[in-house]
Amino acid sequence: MVPEQDVLTISTIWSQLARRAAQDKSLHLADLFASDKDRFERFSLSGAGLLADFSKQRLTDESRDLLVKLADERQLKHWVDALFGGAEVNCTEGRSAKHWCLREPADKAPLVHEQLSRMESMVNRILQGHWRGVQGDAITDVVNVGVGGSDLGPLMAAFALQSSQPPQGQSRPRLHFASSMDGSQVSQVLQELNPRTTLFLVSSKSFTTVDTLHNANTARQWLARGLGLDYDDASLLRCHFIGISANAERMSEWGIVPTNQLLFWEWVGGRYSLWSAIGMPIALTVGMDGFREMLAGAHEMDQHCRTQPWRDNIPVMLALVDVWNINFLDIRARAVLPYDGRLKHLPAYLEQLEMESNGKSVSRSGEPVEYDTCPVIWGEVGPNAQHAFFQLLHQGTQAIACEFLMTARRYTEDEHSESVCELECQHALSNANCLAQSRLLALGERALDPSLALPAYKRYHGNQPSTTLVLDELSPRVLGTLLAMYEHKVFVQAVIWGINPFDQWGVEMGKVIATDMLAVLADPESATGLDASSMALARYVANKQRSS
């Protein structure tokens, strides 16, 4: 049973938190550290290959206690049980949200494991050079055609893990990703590839997303031309396209042969789908054993989230700290800053996971919420961001929460025998920068020699809160743990705010209007009822096109 839950009423605990925040406004992180030598021990958690340090957040024991009480008041336990019990937590679409089920062991989720086995045999055929193009060539290049969750998750994780050893005796294909609707990626990718040796994964939960269908169509025309075959040629479809979707009918209509169809289910949200066959690019990077390791790491986090008391629970504490910043300290932006370049695509993945899930302003029962929900999230590889937007973090006028990510172990003799020393140095340099930045943001100029008399333009106020996440190493297993942690964190926040994190009605209307706009662009003069700006822009573009 899904517990009843309405818009969050301004309860006693909420009011106490607000009062506490008003009192704590004058607290500086430098003072919190100076007055408490055990602060790190008391405000950090570790487990499953991860360490989360919240001690540079503007938290005190009192505010943490109240936040934990808020979680109880919002019936978090019932909601966690509802999620993991398969209840219809996605109320506007009448669905459960069982992405966690994709990482359950075989005896608990036989259908999931059946699809995993089908994916395994395809992955192995590709990695062993047995999957052949229509003219008998082994596949050298695989292009993932998908967008949103059917692109961002597999792209992020495959990129993060590409420096792991390829599976023994297997040869990894080169991976490419084409998502953008305007064709800029697919056109570039196709220029570099040979149709005889290229395989396309058409990844779309709905198999109706126009971005993906247009890119897939361009790829299919390119193959047909390059191989001298018809667009509908059965062998072209059999040898060069795999479809991954929850909609078998649509895949068949498009032309994906049944043996090349990998299925997942309506109860897996697009942005939670990298654990399903949507993760095939990840399996092509680390092999099926590596992929299963990633699932095992995520499963470990599922267990952690279900069983740990809130104050020892990493995703719950991450969520509560965000709520504290957003709703009580008025900090409404968060920068995600990985100090390991392999996590380059993590910020974009999290932008979708968090903002598409929790960018909501009505409660489950349809009432407007009277408090802020998801903050603005953006990010960049930390050391590069230092040369771009860190100036604003250090000396701008906005309070911004930062999330630093670093890896403890990296570069081994086996993988980088020739330059392991130099690379180890670079790793240390990057981690030193990570620690330096979070320290300076927290303490401000008090991290420096306090006797220095600084002019105004050289002063650092500090007190910018941050969380640091340390991964023991960036292995498939730890990556799985990290990503499941973020998924559960998003869910916990949604429970606190009383919103549904599993739908995305805000992006649906734009798709409908875009279809109407195609007709307007083709003939602006026939359009009626358009606003003056859209009309003038459509006319301008159409005129320029005609005159070129």
Using CB under 6 A, pick the residue from 20, 205, 240, 304 that binds ligand F6P: 205
Q: How far apart (Å, rounded) are the C-alpha atoms in residues 248 and 314?
A: 38
Q: How far apart (Å, rounded) are the C-alpha atoms in residues 389 and 420?
A: 31
- Cα angle 228-232-236, degrees, rounded to a multiple of 5: 60
**CB closer to ligand F6P, 7 vs 213:** 213
- What's the min distance (Å) between Cβ of 292 and ligand F6P? 23
Site membership for ligand F6P, residue 360 (CB under 6 A): no
Site track for ligand F6P across 25-54, x = CB under 6 A: ------------------------------
Site membership for ligand F6P, residue 335 (CB under 6 A): no
- What's the min distance (Å) between Cβ of 268 and ligand F6P? 10
Comparing C-alpha atoms, which of 212, 298, 193 is closest to residue 250? 212
List Cα–Cα distances, 30 to 33, 150, 198, 392, 468, in angstroms: 5, 43, 56, 20, 17
Site membership for ligand F6P, residue 209 (CB under 6 A): yes
Phi-psi region of 282 (alpha: psi -120 to 50; beta: other; left: phi over 0): alpha
344 assigned to active site:
no
Contact 146, 279 (CB under 8 A): no
Using CB under 6 A, pick the residue from 144, 363, 500, 504 that binds ligand F6P: 504
User: Could you tell me how many residues of this chain bind ligand F6P (CB under 6 A)?
Assistant: 14
Segment (H or E) for 408: strand 401-409
Site membership for ligand F6P, residue 196 (CB under 6 A): no
Site membership for ligand F6P, residue 188 (CB under 6 A): no
Segment near ligand F6P (CB under 6 A); pick from 191-199, 204-212, 259-267, 467-475: 204-212
- What's the min distance (Å) between Cβ of 49 and ligand F6P? 27
Q: How far apart (Å, rounded) are the C-alpha atoms in residues 155 and 140?
A: 18
Read off the tokens for 347.
């910020």
Under DSSP, the state recorded for 353 is I
Catalytic residue among 108, 458, 461, 511: 511
Phi-psi region of 521 (alpha: psi -120 to 50; beta: other; left: phi over 0): alpha
**CB closer to ligand F6P, 265 vs 339:** 265
Site membership for ligand F6P, residue 345 (CB under 6 A): no
Site membership for ligand F6P, residue 437 (CB under 6 A): no
**505-537 burial by CB neighbour count: b if 16+ within 10 A, else e?**
eeeeeeeeeeeeeeebeeebeebeebeeeebee
Binding to ligand F6P in span 258-297, by CB under 6 A: 270-271
Using CB under 6 A, pick the residue from 15, 171, 184, 206 that binds ligand F6P: 206
Q: How far apart (Å, rounded) are the C-alpha atoms in residues 311 and 293?
A: 27
Site membership for ligand F6P, residue 147 (CB under 6 A): yes
**CB closer to ligand F6P, 270 vs 480:** 270
Using CB under 6 A, pick the residue from 22, 111, 425, 507 that binds ligand F6P: 507
**CB closer to ligand F6P, 245 vs 430:** 245
Site membership for ligand F6P, residue 149 (CB under 6 A): yes
Catalytic residue among 41, 387, 413, 525: 387
Under DSSP, the state recorded for 166 is P
CA atoms within 13 A of residue 230's CA, in its CB half-sphere: 5
- What's the min distance (Å) between Cβ of 251 and ligand F6P? 12
Using CB under 6 A, pick the residue from 96, 144, 150, 197 that binds ligand F6P: 150
Q: How far apart (Å, rounded) are the C-alpha atoms in residues 316 and 301?
A: 12
Number of other residues whose CB lies within 10 A of the CB of residue 59 = 25
Segment near ligand F6P (CB under 6 A); pick from 11-19, 198-206, 217-225, 424-432: 198-206
Q: How far apart (Å, rounded) are the C-alpha atoms in residues 333 and 347?
A: 13
**CB closer to ligand F6P, 149 vs 375:** 149
**CB closer to ligand F6P, 123 vs 355:** 355
Phi-psi region of 269 (alpha: psi -120 to 50; beta: other; left: phi over 0): beta
Q: E strands along 134-259, which residues?
A: 141-145, 174-178, 198-203, 241-245
Cβ-proximal residues to 345 (8 Å cutoff; 6+ apart), any chain: 152, 155, 156, 159, 160
Q: Are strands 50-53 and 44-47 parallel, antiparallel or unpaired?
A: antiparallel
Site membership for ligand F6P, residue 133 (CB under 6 A): no
Q: How far apart (Å, rounded) are the C-alpha atoms in residues 148 and 179?
A: 8
Site membership for ligand F6P, residue 144 (CB under 6 A): no
Which residue matches tokens 């191989």?
227
**CB closer to ligand F6P, 261 vs 504:** 504
Segment near ligand F6P (CB under 6 A); pick from 24-32, 141-149, 294-302, 334-342: 141-149
387 assigned to active site:
yes
Segments in 255-396 forming alpha helices (H): 280-307, 314-323, 346-350, 357-358, 382-386, 390-395
Segment near ligand F6P (CB under 6 A); pick from 71-79, 156-164, 202-210, 417-425: 202-210
Site membership for ligand F6P, residue 204 (CB under 6 A): yes
Which residue matches tokens 């220029």?
191
Site membership for ligand F6P, residue 514 (CB under 6 A): no
- What's the min distance (Å) between Cβ of 491 and ligand F6P? 16
- What's the min distance (Å) between Cβ of 373 and ligand F6P? 17
Catalytic residue among 293, 356, 380, 403: 356
Segment near ligand F6P (CB under 6 A); pick from 63-71, 115-123, 143-151, 464-472: 143-151
**CB closer to ligand F6P, 148 vs 524:** 148
Segment near ligand F6P (CB under 6 A); pick from 80-88, 205-213, 220-228, 229-237: 205-213
Kindly list the catalytic residues. 356, 387, 511
Q: Which residues bind ligand F6P (CB under 6 A)?
A: 147-150, 204-206, 209, 212, 270-271, 356, 504, 507
